[in-house]
Structures are given as structure tokens and as C-alpha cells.
A and B are shown apart, each in its own frame.
Chain A
Amino acid sequence: MFRDAAIIAGKDLRLEARSRVVISQVAPFALLVLVLFAFALDPDSGALSRAASGLFWVAVLFSGVLAIQRSVAVEGADGNRDALRLTGLDPGGIFVGKAVAVALELLVLEVVLGAGVAILYNATEDGVNSPSSVGLLICAALLATAGIAAASSIYGAIAAGLRVRETLLPLLLLPVLAPVLIGATRAFEAALDGKAGEGWPWVAWLALFAIIYAAVGLATFGSLLEES
């Protein structure tokens, strides 16, 4: 299964390396979202730096939806879904491979967005200097990304091949990711406030979410790939 996962993840990442859709289109879009938040909230009032964690994760979710759309679209072209079924790869492996590729793309987006938030929103607080806060930020980001990637690979497969995929997928996916948004935002706030201890329960919460969706994906991806 892990060999199959590596094949699929390698394929999706190679596609990205050659087409550069996420880097040249989704990452600039993510930065644009940050600028739009600044237009919506008065930058001088301090609202931006107070809400930096939440705005960061909302920007991750919005740009993440685009990354998922891309991940689903590459299977939709030229009957690739049928080809994928005919490869005989383990459905669980396909799920893990798609999710890992999305997760790595999301991590790149998060690095870009994190730099954007730190510079544009002036959000580098003193607390981040301590090692425990940095550890909290990294763990929360990794687990939240794993959860988003797992859940969105399932919902991407549910919406795959439908003509209304672009409009349906955000409606199906974003409510499901609400717990990740809440957990990741609280964990980041704790780290930025220098109260890392308050953030770790949320990290456990993010881990639970990622495990549940990984399990559901492994169990159901076979039925989702199957067509009539």
C-alpha cells in the first residue's frame, strides 16, 4: 500500500513540479486573500495582528480548496479516473498518495502564508521565541495539514467527475473542516501569546481529527473510486 501511495504522490508532485499551478496561481491567490483581509479590517486598529492566527487558517482553507480542486481535476482529464482504476493500485494507497501530495502542497502554501502574515500583519510576538512555542506551531501546522489533506481527499473523490464540482466541493468540504479551523487557530493563538501549554490540547484534537479522516478515507476510498 505504501509503495502505491508513493507512486501516486510522486505522480501528483511531478505534475505540480512541471505545471507549477499551486506555486504560480494558488500561492499568489493566498497572499491576495491576506491583502483583502487588510482592506476589510482596518490595519491601524491592531485587529489584523490580534486576528492573525484565524486569518492565516482561513487563508489556508480557501487556498487549500483550490489545491484540492486541482488535485481532483488532474484525475478528471482524459478519462484518468478509469485509467487509475485499471492500474490495479490499492485504493487505500491511492487515497494516501493523493492526501500526501495535497499535504505537501499545503505545507508550501503555509510557509508562504506564514511569512506573509508575519510581515504584513506584524504578528511576530515575543512568545514565538521560546522553543516550546515554536514546537507548538510546527506540530499544530503539521497535524492540521494532515487533517485537511485527509478530509479533502475524501470529499474531492465524492465530488470528482461531477459537472458542478467547482461549486459543490467548497460547500461539502468547508463545514467539515470547521473543527480544524477552530483547533489550529486556538493552538496558534496560544503559541503567539507565549502560553504554549494551553495550545497542546488543541494539537491532540487536531491529531484525533486527522486520524479519524485517515481511517474513513482508507475504509471508503475503494467504494468512491468504483463506478457503475
Chain B
Amino acid sequence: MTSLLNPPATSATASRSTRILGLLLIVGFALLLYLAFVATPPEQTQGDSYRILYLHVPSVTVAYLGCLLTTVGSLMVLWKGSDWWDVTALAAARVAAAFTAVVLVSGSIWGRATWGVYWVWDARLTSTAMLMVLLLGYLALRRLPADPPAQSRRAAVLGLLIIPNVILVHYSVTWWRSVHQGSTITRPDAQIDNLMLFTLFYGFLVFGVFFVWLMIHGFRIAWLERQVEAVGLEHAIAERRAEAGVVAPGAVG
């Protein structure tokens, strides 16, 4: 039980390889900051405010990756009853929720600078906000104490539905209205500075590695949480047994 209260170094979530990955990330982010704020020129019409997109766009990608992993994990839980995937789905949903929040906040700030308002009722903004609510609902369910197998199945059905829900919400609001700036990179006549383009793709790379790093730690944390719950339950049962052992003779006598 002492290991529960004072975890030894072996139960830390970092390992040699994740420490190296973490150091690489610090260097990677420093270079990204230099590229995003110093090396790249201001944009023609938006000036400096466009620089927030170096944070915004890779964050969207990470948020979507997290959602995808949550749905895939939930599918595997329902299909195979896999514990590993259950923990992965939870860890991925946490990462996805955090990055969806970053996307909404950075997008609002950019919108204030560019459109003059923090929020417009555009399809992508609205469906991203709904995605945030769906993820918060999923995480709210996962916070509840319950028997692990039943809890996993409930959460898996909920997690499985996150992507279909977002798709349905997205199409309904797109049909409802849309004024969001179209995709710039995929247009054939894209007018984008080479260094800007490099910075953007380099941002994808750094955030991708960051996602992997967060997932490894997130998985280990969620796994340890589960162990603590199991150990805590055993501990509580042992305590009750010990109490019963003391009390029982008196009760009988």
C-alpha cells in the first residue's frame, strides 16, 4: 500500500525514450516559435494576425486525430472487449478535448482580429463547438465511478458515436450556413510564401510528435488510474475484512 501513496520511480509516466522525445519537442517548439514569429514575413492582407494559424491549424489536426483514435478505440472495445483500447480511447479523448479548446480559443482570437468578432455562426465553428460539447460529455461519463466492464461498454458506445455525430452536425450546419474561409492550401492557384508553407508543415510535424508524446503519457496515466482503482478496491475490501475480523467475535459473543 505504501507504493500507492508514495509511488516509486518505476511508476512514473516518463521513460528514457519519452524523455528524449520530450527534449526533441522542446527544441522543435523553439524552432517553430522562431519560424512562426521571426522568420516568416507578415501576410499581405492580415498582417501579423495570421501567425496564430501556425498554432490553430496543427491543433485542429491533433484534435481530429484524438477523436479518430477515440472512435477506433471504442470500436475495438465493443468488438474485442480490449482493455488496452479502452484506456487508449480515454487518453485520446482527453488530448482531443484539450486541443479542441485550443482550436476554439485561437480561432476566436484570430476571428476578432480578422473579422472583428469573436464568433460567427459559421458551419466549421459551430460544429467544432459541438465537438467540444460531445467530448466533454464523453469525459464526464468517464469520470463517474462504476464497475469497469459495464463502464467501458457504455463509454465505448458513446465514444463510437463521436465521429458520426460530428459528421451529422457538420453537414447540417454546413447546409444551414457557411462563411468560413475556404481551404487555402489545397487550392491549385494557392498563393502562399514558401517559408510560410514550410512553417505550416513543420508545425504539423511538431504537433504530430507532441500528440504521440501526449498519448504515451496520457495512456500511462489512464492505465495507472485504473490500477489505483483496482488496488484501492482490494485495499478497501481487505480493510473491511480486517474490521469484520475484530468485530465479529464480539458480535457473536
Residues of A within 8 A of B (CB): 154-155, 158-159, 162-164, 168, 171-172, 175-176, 178-179, 182-183, 186, 205, 209, 212, 216, 220, 223-224, 226-228
Across the interface, which residues of B come within 8 angstroms of A228, CB to CB? 147-150
Asked whether B140 lies within 8 Å of A227 as measured between CB atoms, the reply is no
Query: Per a CB cutoff under 8 Å, which of B137, B147, B157 touches A227?
Result: B147
Contact of A178 among B137, B146, B172 (CB under 8 A): B172
A175-B176 in contact (CB<8A): no
Cβ–Cβ contact A172 & B157, under 8 A? no
A186 to B147, CA, bound (A): 43
Would A171 and B133 count as touching, CB distance under 8 A? yes
A178 to B147, CA, bound (A): 31
B140 surroundings in chain A (CB, below 8 A): 168, 171-172
Q: Does B53 belong to the interface (CB within 8 Å)?
A: no
In the complex, the 3 A-B pairs of residues with the closest C-beta atoms, listed nearest first: A179-B172, A228-B147, A228-B149
Instruction: Return the chain A residue nearest B132 by Cβ.
Output: A175
Contacts of B113 in A (CB 8 A): none
B150 touches A226 (CB 8 A): yes
Contact A172 B141 (CB under 8 A): yes
B107-120 Cβ-contact flags toward A at 8 Å (1 or 0): 00000000000000
Q: Please indicate the chain B residues that have their CB under 8 angstroms from the CB of A223 in the complex.
A: 78, 153, 156-157
Chain B residues proximal to chain A, CB less than 8 Å:
78, 130, 133-134, 136-137, 140-141, 144, 146-150, 153-154, 156-158, 160-161, 164-165, 168-169, 171-173, 175-176
Q: Which residue of B lies closest to A201 (CB)?
A: B175
Which of A162, A164, A172, A183 sits near B172, CB closer than 8 Å? A183
Name the one of A175, A176, A186, A220 contacting B157, with C-beta atoms under 8 angstroms.
A220
Chain B, residue nearest A175 (CB): B133
User: Once the chains bind, are A164 and B144 in contact (CB under 8 Å)?
Assistant: yes
**Closest chain A residue, CB of each to CB of B155:** A158
Name the one of A172, A186, A212 contacting B168, with C-beta atoms under 8 angstroms: A212
- Cβ contacts under 8 Å, A226 to chain B: 150, 153
> Chain B contact residues: over half helix, strand or loop, or mixed?
helix
- Which residues of chain A are near B133, meaning CB under 8 Å? 171, 175
For this complex, 12 residue pairs linking A to B, each with C-beta atoms less than 8 Å apart, are A158-B157, A158-B158, A162-B146, A172-B158, A175-B133, A176-B165, A178-B172, A178-B173, A183-B172, A186-B176, A212-B168, A224-B157
Residue B141 contacts which of A158, A176, A205, A224 (CB distance < 8 angstroms)? A158
Q: In the complex the two chains form, what is the Cα distance from A216 to B140 in whole Å?
A: 22
B168–A209 contact, CB under 8 A?
yes
Closest to A205 in B: B172
CB <8 Å contact, A182 and B172:
yes
B164 nearest CB neighbor, chain A only: A212
Residue from A186, A205, A209, A216 within 8 A of B161 (CB atoms): A216
Instruction: Given A172-B137, A220-B160, A223-B156, answer yes or no on A162-B147 (Cβ-Cβ < 8 Å).
Output: no
How far apart are the CA atoms of A162 and B137 in the complex, in Å? 14
Additional A-B contact list (16), CB under 8 Å, known A158-B157, A172-B158, A216-B160: A158-B154, A168-B137, A168-B141, A172-B141, A175-B165, A176-B161, A182-B173, A182-B176, A186-B176, A220-B157, A223-B153, A223-B157, A226-B150, A226-B153, A227-B147, A228-B150
